[in-house]
């Protein structure tokens, strides 16, 4: 990929679907079976959802006749012609993107990720991610093709780092994630061995991660814990919510560092690491993170209040273009040297600017 392409923001994140044309002869004596079940079992990476999409679009024929019903029963000696649509494989493309590297040795590096940068390439984020930048930083020049089941929604990123970095050809391994609009510290393994050892530390909860958030409201206790299972939201499956009936156990410890008239600066430590955990837990406590459009933090929480609070809230919103959440501290044991590794970063400029608005005396 040339430099002109690398600097173009209009990358083809959503390349055209490719057609896989598949012809199958059902063995003699086959017990009748639903066609969607039969095809999803035989065709690699073809879920029943993808098979049904092909059926709905008239891309499946049995003995020359178009079949659209997923419940159609195939029998022995049928000839099935099927066109399956799929996106081409994800390519890991080394890109010359500046990185704020806090620490680096032969085994790992710690990066201060800016808000707005996606961590993993995925279906809807194939370029300009942290992985693209790290590949280039480590001296890789060739694109690396990763083929995986592409049934996820277009804006869903790869959730299994081990799958992406299973090949010896792909050196960096992302040990943990930060949301696109969350800034802060993130550790990257340079080898599969270090990746595995660091993942074990996260699984054993021996890694310490501390975040700072600016959240609406001032009524949280000085310190405490938020405990609540986290599951997909029943209203919007792209979001998460606290659930009393399902989901995974999650615990977030917090301490209020500063209270302002309409908001609080909060320190948060993860006891577990669920997707969107801090954002969901704070929203559940009616203290959504300022700027968090997915979890209630991007609208005026003081509408209808006295004029001063209402105006201040509107001004804060106008200056908050993402959830104001920053991974400030990171602590772990170096998997090779066994040294205690401790890192801290300053709050980013956008958070400091909002703090200045909330407390002009600073």
pLDDT tens track for 17-62:
667 789 999 999 999 999 999 998 888 767 788 888 889 999 999 9
Instruction: Provide CATH 3.30.2350.10 ranges for the chain.
Output: 205-362
Contact assessment for residue 148 and residue 89, using Cβ atoms and an 8 Å cutoff: yes
Map tokens 């200056």 to a residue: 319
- Site of tokens 């009393």: 244
Predicted local distance difference test score (pLDDT) of residue 103 = 97
Cα angle 344-358-319, degrees, rounded to a multiple of 5? 80
What percentage of the chain reaches a pLDDT higher than 70?
82
> Is the pLDDT score of 280 beyond 60?
yes
pLDDT, one tens digit per residue, over 134-187 is 988 988 766 666 554 444 433 333 344 334 444 444 446 888 889 999 999 999
pLDDT at 195 over 50: yes
Look up the CATH number of domain 18-86: 3.10.290.10
205-362 has which fold? Pseudouridine synthase (3.30.2350)
pTM, two decimals, is: 0.74
Alpha carbon 223 to its chain's center: 28
CATH fold for the domain made of 89-195: Alpha-Beta Plaits (3.30.70)
Q: Are 74 and 63 in contact (CB under 8 A)?
A: no
Residue 210: predicted pLDDT:
96
What pLDDT shows up at residue 12?
Answer: 46
- Tokens 């979001």, residue located: 239
Which whole number is the average pLDDT over 212-224?
96
Instruction: Kindly list the catalytic residues.
Output: 179
Distance of CA 83 to the CA centre of its chain: 31
Residue 341 has pLDDT above 80, yes or no: yes
Reported as a pLDDT band with limits 50, 70 and 90, residue 90 is low
Torsion of CA 208, 214, 215, 217, to 10 degrees: 120
pLDDT at 165: 43
> How large is the average pLDDT for residues 102-113?
96
Given CA atoms 70, 75, 81, 86 in this order, what sign does their dihedral have? positive
- Look at the alpha carbons of 147, 95, 350, 161 in this order and tell me if their dihedral is positive or negative: positive
Q: Which two tokens stand for residue 129?
A: 């991610």
> From the centroid of its chain, how far is CA 103?
23
Distance of CA 231 to the CA centre of its chain: 15
pLDDT in tens, 305-336: 678 899 999 999 999 999 999 999 999 999 99
Within the chain, all domains assigned CATH 3.30.70 are found at: 89-195
Report the alpha-carbon distance of residue 220 to residue 254 in Å, rounded.
Answer: 9
Rounded mean pLDDT, 7-25: 63
Residues of the chain with CATH 3.10.290.10: 18-86
């Amino acid at each position: 990929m040339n430099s002109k392409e690398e600097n173009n923001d209009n990358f083809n994140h959503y390349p055209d679907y490719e057609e896989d044309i598949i012809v199958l002869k059902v063995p003699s004596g086959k017990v009748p079976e639903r066609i969607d079940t039969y095809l999803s079992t035989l065709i690699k990476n073809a879920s029943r959802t993808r098979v049904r999409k092909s059926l709905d679009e008239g891309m499946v024929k049995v003995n020359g006749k178009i079949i659209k019903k997923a419940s159609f029963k195939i029998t022995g000696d049928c000839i099935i012609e099927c066109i399956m649509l799929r996106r081409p494989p994800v390519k890991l493309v080394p890109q010359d993107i500046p990185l704020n590297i806090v620490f680096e040795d032969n085994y790992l590096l710690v990066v201060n990720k800016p808000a707005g940068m996606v961590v993993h390439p995925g279906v809807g984020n194939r370029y300009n991610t942290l992985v693209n930048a790290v590949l280039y930083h480590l001296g890789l020049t060739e694109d690396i093709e990763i083929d995986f089941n592409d049934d996820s929604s277009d804006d869903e990123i790869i959730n299994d780092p081990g799958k992406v970095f299973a090949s010896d050809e792909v050196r960096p391994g992302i040990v943990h994630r930060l949301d696109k609009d969350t800034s802060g510290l993130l550790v990257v393994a340079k080898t599969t061995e270090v990746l595995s050892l660091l993942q074990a530390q996260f699984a054993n909860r021996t890694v310490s991660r501390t975040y700072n958030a600016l959240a609406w409201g001032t009524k949280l206790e000085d310190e405490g814990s938020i405990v609540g299972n986290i599951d997909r939201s029943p209203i919007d499956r792209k979001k998460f919510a606290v659930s009393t009936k399902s989901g995974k156990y999650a615990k977030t410890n917090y301490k209020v560092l500063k209270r302002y008239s309409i908001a609080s600066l909060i320190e948060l430590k993860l006891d577990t690491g669920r997707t969107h955990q801090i954002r969901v837990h704070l929203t559940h406590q009616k203290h959504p993170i300022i700027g968090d459009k997915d979890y209630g933090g991007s609208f005026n929480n003081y509408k209808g209040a006295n004029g001063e609070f209402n105006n201040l809230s509107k001004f804060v919103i106008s200056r908050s273009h993402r959830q104001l959440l920053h991974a400030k501290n990171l602590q772990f044991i170096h998997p090779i040297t066994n040294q205690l590794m401790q890192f801290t970063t300053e709050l980013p400029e956008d958070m400091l600017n909002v703090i200045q608005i909330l407390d002009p005396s600073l």
